[in-house]
Structure 1
Amino acid sequence: MIETSVFFPPPIQQIYNEDGVEVYVLRLDLMHSWVNGNKWFKLKYNLLEAKERDFSTILTFGGAFSNHIFATAAAGKLFGFNTIGVIRGEETLPLNPTLDFARKQGMQLVYLDRTTYRQRNTRELQESLKQRYGQVFIIPEGGCNLNGIRGCTEIAQSLRQFDTICLACGTGTTLAGMILSLHPQQRVIGFPVLKGGEFLYKDINSLLQDYFASDLPASVDSPAAWDLVCDYHFGGYAQVNEELRLFCQSFLDKYNIPLDYVYTGKMFYGVMDLIKKGFFQNSDRCSQILLIHTGGLQGNLGLQK
C-alpha cells in the first residue's frame, strides 16, 4: 500500500478581487515538503502499479534540474522503493542542489549523452536499461503516461466553482488530467514554459485520445474547453531574466506565496499581465480564476545568482 496520509489537503487562497475578476491559488506546493505539487499526482498511480506488480526499483528520466527526479527520489525513500535517475547530459561536480538531494535520498544517478537520451522512450533503450539494471519499473520523464494523467484528474475534482483554471505546462500531462476532470462549461488554460510551446496542442490531443482509448476512469464524458497561451516562456525552458525575478519577489512580498522561476512564476506573471489587458473580464458576471501552484520551488536553488 501507498500511505497517502502523509500528504496535507491543499488550501485555496484568494489573492485578487478587482474589476470583475477574482483570482484564487490552489496551493499544491503545501501538500508535502518534498513530494508536492503536480509531481505527486503524476507519481501516485505509477507507484501503486509498481507496488501491485511487486517491483522494488523505479527507473525514470530527467534533466539535471528536474522537479520530477527530485520528487521521485523522495517518494522512493518515503514508500520503500529503490530509485534510478537517468539524467540528460554529462555528470557535473559538485552536484547541483536537485541531484545532490536525489543522491542523498538514495537515488542512483546514471548519465546519458543528449543524443542517446533523446531515445529514452524507445523500446531499444529501455530494454538496454533493463538488461543493465534488472527488473525496474520505468516511469517516463515527467510522469507523462496514462497513470500520470489519471493522477492529475484528481486535482480538479472539487474545483467545479471556478470558470477558468490556469497552470504551467511542460509535457502537458497535468493539463490533460485537468481537461478530463472539469465540466465542459469550464475552461483550462495552459502556459507552456518552453519556447515554441505550440507543439503541445498535438501532444495534449494525443494524450487525451490515448486516455479515452484506455479503460482508465474519467470523471466526465466529454473534455472541458482548453487552450494554450504561449507568450510567457521568457526565452525558453529554465530561462530567467531580471523582470521575472523581480515579479516573483514582489509576489512573495505581497501574498506570501513563493513561486518557482521555471514553471509557476511564468504562469502567474502571464495571468496577472492578461488581467491588466482585460483578457478574463466577463460582461455578465464576475470571473473566478484558479491558478494551480504546482510546487517545484527547489528548482530555484539552482537558478539563484
Structure 2
Amino acid sequence: MGPFDWLPRAPLEPLQLDWLNGVELAVLRLDRIDPLISGNKWFKLTEHLAQARDAGASGIISLGGAYSNHLHALAAAGKRFDFPTVGLLRGHAQDTPTVLDLKAFGMQLHWLGYGGYRARHEPGFWLPWHEQYPHLYPVPEGGGGLAGALGCGVLVEQARAQLGNLGWADYDAWWLAAGTGTTLAGLVLAEAGAHPVYGAMAVPDDHGVAQNVSDLVQGGYELLEASRSGFAKVDPVLLDFIERTEQACGMPLEPLYTGKALLALKQQIEAGRFAAGTRLIFLHTGGLQGRRGFNA
C-alpha cells in the first residue's frame, strides 16, 4: 500500500455571528479539503494507513454504520489510491446514500446485524475476518485509537500557520465536536499543554468518549455535554439554529456533530464562559455527506 503523501490543507476562516458577544472565532474548514475524502476522517486514517503499509497489508478492513463518515472516506480513499477496502456494517442491509457510495467506490460490505456489531470489542472478534481477509489491515471503528489521534496532530500546525491571515498572534483554545474523542485527543497531544481543547460531546456518556480520551491523554482538555439527549437526536431548536447559522454565514453544518458543537458554543458564550476578546478555533470536522440520509 501507498505511499500516501497526500496532505490536504484546510483553510482557517473568520466567522462572524451576532451571538459571539466579542469572542473572536475562526473555523478550520476540514469540510473543504476534498469533495469525497472530507473532514477529519482522512487525518485519522493517515497513521493507520502507514501502519498497514509497514505491515505489508494490501488494504483495509474497518467498521461503521449505514451513514458512516469514516467508511465513506475510507472507501473513497481506497478507490483513489487503488487499495481494496472491506466494511463491516452495523444492522441489516439497506441502501442509504452513504452505502450506495461505498458500493460505487468498490468497498466489499458485510452486514453484521446489531448483536454482531456489538461484539466488535470482544476478544477474538477479528479472528474470522483475518482468516477471510488475511492481507487486510484492521482499523478500529471511526479510525480511532492512538494512531487515529496522532494523525490529527497536523491540524494544529495547519491552524497556527494561518493565524497571520486573521491578524492573530495567538489563540486561546480549540472547540470541536467529540464523537469518539480521537480527534480531540490528537489536538491535545499536538498542543502539549499550550492551549486547552474543548470537546462538545455529540453522543451520550455511555458511548465511552471520556474513557477513550483518558486512555490517550492526561489533562489539557474538557468535555461538555452536547448530545441533546442522544446520538443522532435532533430537535427544532437545533434545526432552527443550523438554518439560521447557514443563512448568516454560509457555512454548511450537519445536525449530528458540527451543528450540535456550534450550538453548545453559543450556549457557553451566552452563559459567560468566554469573555469578549477570547480567540477560539472551531474545528469543522466535515461529515456533510451524512446530511443526505438525514434530509431523506
Same fold (TM over 0.5): yes
Aligned residue for 2:140?
Answer: 140
Aligned residue for 1:250?
Answer: 244
Aligned residue for 1:229?
Answer: 224
Aligned residue for 1:207?
Answer: 216
Aligned residue for 2:47?
Answer: 45
Give, in whole Å, the separation in 2 of the partners of 1:13 and 1:183. Answer: 24
Aligned residue for 1:56?
Answer: 58
- Displacement of 1:207 in angstroms is 2.1
Matched, 1:104 2:107: no
Counterpart code for 1:247: F
Q: Which SS does the other structure have where 1:65 is aligned? A: coil
Residues 11 and 28 in structure 2, CA contact (< 8 A), matched pair in contact too: yes
Residues 26 and 280 in structure 2, CA contact (< 8 A), matched pair in contact too: yes
Q: Which SS does the other structure have where 1:106 is aligned? A: coil
Counterpart code for 1:13: E
**Aligned pairs for 1:89-238 within 5 A:** 89-92=91-94, 95-159=95-159, 161-196=170-205, 199-208=208-217, 225-230=220-225, 232-238=226-232
Give, in whole Å, the separation in 2 of the partners of 1:197 and 1:289. Answer: 28
Residues 42 and 152 in structure 1, CA contact (< 8 A), matched pair in contact too: yes
Give, in whole Å, the separation in 2 of the partners of 1:225 and 1:207. Answer: 12
Give, in whole Å, the separation in 1 of the partners of 2:5 and 2:32. Answer: 14
Give, in whole Å, the separation in 1 of the partners of 2:192 and 2:57. Answer: 36
Gaps of 5+ in 1: 209-222
RMSD: 1.9
Size of the aligned set, in residue pairs, is: 284
Give, in whole Å, the separation in 1 of the partners of 2:174 and 2:3. Answer: 29
Render the CA deviation track for 1:210-258: whole Å, top value 9, x for unaligned.
Answer: xxxxxxxxxxxxx66210111x212211112222222112111111100
Residues 12 and 159 in structure 2, CA contact (< 8 A), matched pair in contact too: no
Give, in whole Å, the separation in 1 of the partners of 2:52 and 2:214. Answer: 27
Aligned residue for 1:219?
Answer: none
Which one is further off, 132-141 or 9-18?
9-18
- Displacement of 1:164 in angstroms is 1.2
Q: Which SS does the other structure have where 2:266 is aligned? A: helix
Counterpart code for 1:288: R
Aligned residue for 2:163?
Answer: none
TM-score by length of 1: 0.87
Matched, 1:278 2:272: yes
Residues 28 and 284 in structure 2, CA contact (< 8 A), matched pair in contact too: yes
What stretches of structure 1 move > 6 A for 4+ residues in a row?
none
Give, in whole Å, the separation in 1 of the partners of 2:149 and 2:23. Answer: 30
